[in-house]
Structure 1
């Protein structure tokens, strides 16, 4: 089956063609400033694929609180014009083939359940660590989205009565606070810069990275004792840093032990598909929606 896949982000829209059980012909374009411009860009990509292949569907990974059944993107995101109207119906009219749409973090989780780090478990949590903290809950290999589509929005978790997990655990937000503490101009410091300074032993950077790891471990502790999943999968840019992942595992185990929950065996793994997870997960969702994949 040939499916055109899009992953809508705040700065770029990634795309590819799913055929022969693999993702090919990947590319991207800058996220347009308007809905009409977005439709034109997506139609151009789809027409390009259709010129050489028979396209049978379009699968879309989107930010926001996605109601996949109603075909509406609720909530807010960095792409404001995609929200609160029957967007799926417009896409189906535009492309002339079936369209599926799902939240980006949920798509990443579905990719891992289908073919990746959670393919051998029934219950898992997926955590995306980036500019904020997102996630998804997998129960019996299915997304648990919650009454208000808020299932998996773990970044809203309060850690100290004031600060959320997103604020304390996001490398982007921690780096911004570090830059202010050091009197550095905006745009100079990102997560990579902060981690490098910490590795060099710069005391303030070490303090901020230690705090970030501690916040993430407290979040994972809370999730571990609340859901007791078979596996917790970490995605996002931080997932490539095995040194940080090892420290997060160690700190999470510390909290479990010190609070008497040492019998909770939390298996923390990194994601398999990294930058392609949203695209592959959108395909997984399309297949489920169209009845092409076992649940």
Structure 2
């Protein structure tokens, strides 16, 4: 049985793990606070050095450079986390003489969610995975492989319509573009805490389900889901991350997504909020989705998996879709 190793780099915590035979069969793990690249990656290396494994998967927050032909392949690039800008994550960890595969911390779990559908006998062509926590990130798998294209999806910074009457300026917008209502700036955990008048995000868990902030969050996340459906047509949208531990968000997001599509997509999965229960779903892996995704990359490293080119064609009469695409890929 192959022994898989993985490193999942999060904004607050780095996780390392070992699995036997398949990514879900985790037998060992550890976590370290995300401090400086030197300190954090050194702890990951020290832990891995004490173990034997056949392949290594690395998934980290971004933006990153996943292009193997690039001089900055394996680097974190223009991240808001200033200490981690230009950090060479793969260079620091690719020291064990085993195959290595690297991607974002959302593309990797998107791949594991895709594989889970295949294992169930389904035949998806596109799966989206979104994490909603400190930030909002979206990973995409199309035709069996994570999408890279120009770089990789950054749909957490897509522009979405404002909630009716919402004059919130946005919390730490990365694009800093006037008039650009980013999903992340509108409804990541920091934004929701600020909207609710909380000192920090820890207080979000104590807000009741009927607090107005959750309807605002559902609006922005439904707008994201609607854009994803219109642009890449996923058969599954998996929503994960700390904010999505609020289970009451799922029925609201499904209902609003169906409402915003307004009957334009004539398929059963978005015919009603009840039907959308099979389309917009939580991860079956819960909080393990990220590290299982990284272990899936290790599994692919043994099999020589490759990324999918992103090729989209906009035909005449699809001006509105072009505007949505520009918002998604901005």
Match of 2:294 in 1: 282
Tell me: CA distance 1:270–1:39, structure 2 relative to 1, closer, same or farther (3 Å).
closer
Match of 1:270 in 2: 282
**1:118 and 1:231 in contact (8 A); partners too:** no
Residue 193 of structure 1: how far off its partner (Å)? 2.7
Of residues 137, 142, 147 in structure 1, which corresponds to 2:140?
A: 137
**2:136 and 2:188 in contact (8 A); partners too:** yes
Tell me: CA distance 1:62–1:80, structure 2 relative to 1, closer, same or farther (3 Å).
farther
| Higher-helix-fraction structure | 1
Does residue 122 of the first structure (1) align with residue 134 of the second (2)? no
TM-score between the two structures when normalised by the length of structure 1: 0.81
Match of 2:275 in 1: none
Tell me: CA distance 1:130–1:87, structure 2 relative to 1, closer, same or farther (3 Å).
closer
Match of 1:202 in 2: none
Match of 1:109 in 2: 110
Q: For 2:118 and 2:281, how far apart are their aligned partners in 1?
A: 7
Match of 2:219 in 1: 214
Q: 1:8-27 maps to which residues of 2 (within 5 A)? A: 8-21=9-22, 22-27=25-30
Residue 79 of structure 1: how far off its partner (Å)? 5.4
Q: 1:62-73 maps to which residues of 2 (within 5 A)? A: 62-68=60-66, 69=68, 70=70, 71-73=73-75
Match of 2:56 in 1: 58
- In the alignment of these two chains, the number of paired residues is 272
**1:116 and 1:272 in contact (8 A); partners too:** no
Stretches of 4+ aligned residues off by more than 6 angstroms: none
Can you give the 5+ residue segments of structure 1 that lack an aligned partner in the other structure? 200-205
Can you give the 5+ residue segments of structure 2 that lack an aligned partner in the other structure? 162-178, 271-278, 308-330
CA-to-partner distance for each residue in 1:75-107, whole Å, 9 max, x for gaps? 2336545543654244223x3433322111111
Q: For 1:75 and 1:140, how far apart are their aligned partners in 2?
A: 27
Taking only aligned residues, the RMSD between alpha carbons, in angstroms, comes to: 2.7
Residue 227 of structure 1: how far off its partner (Å)? 2.2
Match of 1:187 in 2: 200
CA-to-partner distance for each residue in 1:167-187, whole Å, 9 max, x for gaps? 2232431122221xxxx5x23
TM-score between the two structures when normalised by the length of structure 2: 0.73
Match of 2:254 in 1: 249
